A and B are shown apart, each in its own frame.
Chain A
Amino acid sequence: MAQKVTLNVNGRDHTIDADPDMPLLYALRNDIGLNNPHFGCGLAQCGACTVHLDGQAIRSCVTPVSAVGNGKVVTLASLGTPEKPHPLQTAYVEEQVPQCGYCINGWIMTAAAFLNEKKKPTEAEIKTALEGLKCRCGTHMGILRAVKRAAEMMG
């Protein structure tokens, strides 16, 4: 049954009526009006729904709203802006990575959390950090170029 749930998303509190079991993804998309992230699988298998919860990349499609608690949620929309881009966003544009772009949340949000923790990663470390994320269009080469570029920008 629906209950009042307060979520802190992109620096603002939002109180919504929701079934506590409802995945965060639907709250973000339908109640809070953030069109990113996307539904790709609903099974934690692809990454299209990735957001940060207290700085960790999580799959919002399998995270019930009740599990968010007081945690701070950040979506791609507030990772950076065209005026103040995150290095990964700059690198993605520079490298012209996406084809359809539906997978972007998974790669950028996962890589952003990883690069926060790990300075100057090797290519193998980058690949391992991103393992399991999907890009059906096959933009793998561009993704790796962009993440390496962003890693350099982040020193």
Chain B
Amino acid sequence: MTKFERPAAFSRRALLKSGGALVVSIGMPISLDAVLAVSEAHAQGASQFAAAVKPPLTPDQLSSYIAVNADGSVAAYFGRMDMGHGLHVAIGQMVAEELDVPFSAVKVYMGDTATSVHQGGASGSTGIQLGGKQMRMAAAEARRVLVEMAAERLSVPADQLTVVDGVVQAKADSAKKVTYGELIGGRYFNVPLAWNKQYGNTLYAPGKAQPKKPSEYKIVGKPIKREDVAPKVFAQEDFCTDVKLPGMVHARMLRPPVAGSVPVKVDESSIREIPGARVVWEKGFLGVVADREWDAIQAMQKLKVEWSQATPPFPPQASLYDHIRKSSVRKRVVEKENGNVDEAFKSAAKVIEAEYEWPFQSHAGMGPACALVEVKNGFATCYTGSQKSHFVQAGIAATLGLPLEKVHVKWVTGPGSYGRNDADDCAMDAAVLSQAVGKPVRLQYMREQGTGWDPKGPASIHKARMAFDAAGNITAYEFTSKGFSRVDVDTNGGKPQDTLAGHTRGVALHSGDGFGVPAESYEFANKRLAWETIPPLLDRASPLRSSHLRDPVGPQIHFASESFMDEVAAELKLDPIEFRLRHLTEARDIAVIKAAAEKFGWQPRPAPQRQTGVKVSGRGIAYAQRNGTRVAVIAEVDVDRSSGKIYARRFVVAHDCGQIINPDGLAKCIEGNVVQGISRTLWEEVKFNDKAVTTVDWISYPILDITETPASIETVLIDHPEIAPSGAGEPSIRPVAAAIANAIFDATGVRMRRVPFSPDRVRQAMA
């Protein structure tokens, strides 16, 4: 089969073929050898800015981010990856812009631990906000250095040079020119950067250059298309599920029928008939391998296992929220407080209170996770769809007892990723299996394992109350979330304590505490926003362990807080937008709400409408901030009171994430957020009995169907070129649930306080 050598492909072959300066060092280049090689290059008379041998792959080297090939094309090495929003396009735009090369001259290489430094992977919608910021600074520095080199070569002062499409030329005499390729092609930048000594999301290493002013932009802000769509559509791109290695075997894992139990007897003879089938069993870790994939599946199904008697660990599903309510608080954090809230509630003439509930939810990726790991001669190579390859590198090193530099992790597009899904667990399991059988092991989970055993978005309850004086003025507001932690297991598989392979092989869970508070700018004289976490239901290898699922706790918190604002507006008989605008303080928040209202054609009136009839319609607004971004969502929904079916028909989303890099990518990203948000609001709930999670496929864990697609999702993209870009990967999923709940209230006068709004639940609520 012929395949595209697509620009954003990360195969070793692609790197080799692209030639030029691209380094193909499969080991970790931070080795002593590499450092010595740099000194050697200097000894050979490397120029001030360029070296023949690549400097070590450390965050304080320009060469760790940018290289110029002999033909003048540019490689950008990005320690993050695209989760389907076209992040690589935006990064390419930022790099091309700063370097003054055509967009098509830049190739972005993502998520390979051998070619990029640890920039945190895909995380918290910071791909552009933090990752792009670094790439922009690196590209600007590369341009500065190249112009300096040209100044020397052309004997023209740097400030009298300009760059056009990768050609440095004298402003006064365009015949005096030299290309980037001529200046450094085939060699490496040898330029130190001022690294802040941090790895991950906050890594920042600027050079001496200042980036361009927004008024000078030619490429940033343009709706450039993704070049990786065509290879996908023509079946020419490999996913992580498609990578194969010579001598590879297939594997499947076995999970216990009762969470917490472990195998006590494994009858290997039960799979003797299956060609090449083998068991890998270590404490609670149990997997099978076979030469052929179908055989591995058969072996998983046929293997006779006796499991230990374990006390069923989970409360009845029906009492989940009672469990949360009654559970001891492990950690309480007041994130925001002003005035004297307790006093104000004591002296209140009237108090309105409400409580909201949000279930565990699953990542339920389009495919269950898959990883291919080869452990050979004390070196591990891993192909994974994980959104955090540098953490997977650390996790495999710790799991197998290898030094970090003996682990190479390559990210290859996986079946979707919206946070800490099952990918990191899969990579660790595959690593253990490969080490055990001495062959490359391709492990893919089964559907029921992907949906049943992925880390879950945490379940929670949220209490809100508002105090009024005798004249009906608001005197105090308090909002408290209580739920499972969003870091029961961490956001990545970097430590065995956070992975199933760790837990099943005896490493104890170190459940962390994290939740959050509403992100808004409502001003009240007395106000308190707090969160409380409770202990997990099972202290290891739990199918209900909780972690980050898109916008980790944003949907649940803002479902509650923005529903409550609507409840208060209704109590005061105020238009919900009017009410919000009275109390909001930040200009960008006000602007985003006004923009949505204008696009929607919002006519002020209080909710609910007094409608009769079986089929009614309503509108609802909700808004939120997220790390600098602000979003307002207006939903228009149809409610069928007799069937309980909600049709979320129309959405208007106003979005302000500062400077817009690529409006096309942004609009699509918002659409995806809204659709996934509707799905989580109307359908998604992890169900369980005392022993296990029972939502294990697309029937038991339904998501929004194509027949339920909104008729329209309109976006208003507010561009602030003067404000550094903030994120867009998650903010717009945040207000969706509340916008829908508020629209249902507007249509029917019924307040939905528990997600999901499945037909059964809506019917009951309407009864």
Residues of A within 8 A of B (CB): 18-19, 22-23, 26, 29-30, 33-36, 38-43, 45-46, 48, 75-77, 80-82, 85, 89, 92-93, 96-105, 108, 127-128, 130-144
In contact, B447 and A26 (Cβ under 8 angstroms): no
Q: Can you list 19 A-B contacts with CB-CB less than 8 angstroms, sorted by A residue number?
A: A30-B292, A34-B235, A39-B444, A45-B699, A48-B367, A77-B1, A80-B234, A92-B233, A97-B229, A100-B84, A101-B229, A101-B233, A102-B367, A136-B364, A136-B416, A138-B675, A138-B679, A140-B704, A144-B706
B697: chain A residues at CB < 8 Å are 41, 43, 45
Q: Name the prevailing secondary structure of the B interface residues.
A: loop
A82: chain B residues at CB < 8 Å are 230, 234
A97-B229, A137-B676, A140-B704 known, 10 other contacts, Cβ within 8 Å: A35-B241, A38-B241, A76-B234, A81-B234, A92-B229, A100-B83, A102-B366, A127-B706, A136-B676, A138-B672
In contact, B84 and A76 (Cβ under 8 angstroms): no
B415 at the interface (CB under 8 A from A): yes
In contact, A137 and B84 (Cβ under 8 angstroms): yes
In contact, B705 and A98 (Cβ under 8 angstroms): no
In contact, B229 and A93 (Cβ under 8 angstroms): yes
B5 at the interface (CB under 8 A from A): no
In contact, A137 and B672 (Cβ under 8 angstroms): yes
Q: Name the prevailing secondary structure of the A interface residues.
A: loop
B-side interface size class: 35 or more
B705: chain A residues at CB < 8 Å are 131-132
Partner of B709, one of A23, A97, A134, A144: A144
Nearest to B415 among chain A residues (CB) is A102
Q: Knowing A23-B294, A143-B706 touch, does A36 contact B235 (C-beta < 8 A)?
A: yes
In contact, B84 and A99 (Cβ under 8 angstroms): yes
In contact, A22 and B294 (Cβ under 8 angstroms): yes
Report the Cα distance A134→B368, complex, angstroms. Answer: 13
B602 at the interface (CB under 8 A from A): no
B236: chain A residues at CB < 8 Å are 77
In contact, A137 and B366 (Cβ under 8 angstroms): yes
B577: chain A residues at CB < 8 Å are none
Please provide the 8 A-B residue pairs with the shortest distance between their CB atoms, ordered closest to farther: A99-B84, A138-B675, A35-B242, A77-B235, A101-B232, A36-B235, A102-B415, A45-B698
In contact, A39 and B241 (Cβ under 8 angstroms): yes
Partner of A96, one of B664, B704, B709: B664
In contact, B415 and A130 (Cβ under 8 angstroms): no
In contact, B709 and A141 (Cβ under 8 angstroms): yes
Report the Cα distance A77→B416, complex, angstroms. Answer: 21
B331-373 at interface with A (beta carbon < 8 Å): 364-368
B195 at the interface (CB under 8 A from A): no
B650 at the interface (CB under 8 A from A): no
- Central interface residue in B229, B671, B703, by most chain A CB within 10 Å: B229
Nearest to A22 among chain B residues (CB) is B294
One digit per residue, 1 when the CB lies within 8 angstroms of any chain A CB and 0 when it does not, for chain B 704-739 equals 111101100100000000000000000000000000
Q: Knowing A48-B367, A100-B417 touch, does A140 contact B232 (C-beta < 8 A)?
A: no
Nearest to B242 among chain A residues (CB) is A35
B1-30 at interface with A (beta carbon < 8 Å): 1
Report the Cα distance A135→B709, complex, angstroms. Answer: 11
B304 at the interface (CB under 8 A from A): no
Q: Knowing A35-B235, A38-B415 touch, does A26 contact B229 (C-beta < 8 A)?
A: no
Partner of B707, one of A41, A48, A128: A128
In contact, B229 and A98 (Cβ under 8 angstroms): yes
Report the Cα distance A142→B85, complex, angstroms. Answer: 13
Nearest to A76 among chain B residues (CB) is B235
In contact, B679 and A26 (Cβ under 8 angstroms): no
Partner of A38, one of B83, B367, B698: B367
In contact, B234 and A101 (Cβ under 8 angstroms): no
In contact, B1 and A33 (Cβ under 8 angstroms): yes
In contact, B238 and A48 (Cβ under 8 angstroms): no
B97: chain A residues at CB < 8 Å are none
How far apart are A129's CB and chain B's nearest CB, in angstroms?
A: 9
